[in-house]
Each structure stands twice: as structure tokens, then as C-alpha cells.
Amino acid sequence: MPTPRVKMPSSAAKGEVFEVKTTIDHDMESGQRKDKDGKPIPRKIINKFTVAYNGKQVFWSDWAPAVSANPYCSFFLTATESGTVELKWHDDDGQVYAVSQAITVA
């Protein structure tokens, strides 16, 4: 099962810009390769990545088969209020892998 990981601060000053670093262990099968019998291996990729800060979507990205295995993504957010940052990776088969992390804004 894919394992998402997130690295971000647990606290920040109001108005501070902070970095969020993410990765997910995932093979990202493009659908272009064949197995040992010559049959195509079905595509199975993370096709969408979304981030919500206190329930409001603040970042999203659509991914294609060219994205590498175990994709890494980093981005910046502005600390506006204490709450939760929720990250979701959406797989081709409909599965969603989610991680939430709290941040305290002082």
C-alpha cells in the first residue's frame, strides 16, 4: 500500500510563509510497459494531488504517467490561522491516500 509522508512545521507565526515537503511510496506504473509474457501492465498512477488548509483547497496538481515513481512535491503556504493541513493523493483505481497535520499559528 502506498505510504504518504509529509514534513512541515508544527507551528508558525501569523503571516509566515512555510514549506511543505511531501512524498508517497508508489510504483506509478505508466501503462506503457509489458510483463514477462508481453502483456501490457495496466496503468496505475497517482493522478491528482490536493491540499486543504482548514477545509479550504489551497493547492492542487494533476499528474500524468510521466511522473516518477515515489513522487516528491514541495510547495509553500502562508500561516493564517491554527488548524489542519490535509493532503490527498488520488489513485487511478479510485483510492485516496490522505494525511493530516496540525499547525499552530501564534
Rounded-to-integer distance, Cα 26 and Cα 47, Å: 12
Domains of the chain: total: 1
Contact call for residues 63 and 71 (beta carbons, < 8 A): yes
Q: What is the CATH number of the domain that holds 83?
A: 2.60.40.10
Q: Has residue 71 been placed in a domain?
A: yes
On average, the pLDDT of the chain sits at 95
pLDDT of amino acid 100: 97
In a domain, 36, yes or no: no
5-55 residue pLDDT tens:
999 999 999 999 999 999 999 988 888 899 999 999 988 899 999 999 999
Closest CA to 99 of 45, 51, 47: 51
What pTM does this model have?
0.89
Domain containing 69 equals: 3-29+42-105
Q: Examine the pLDDT at 67 and tell me if it is beyond 90.
A: no
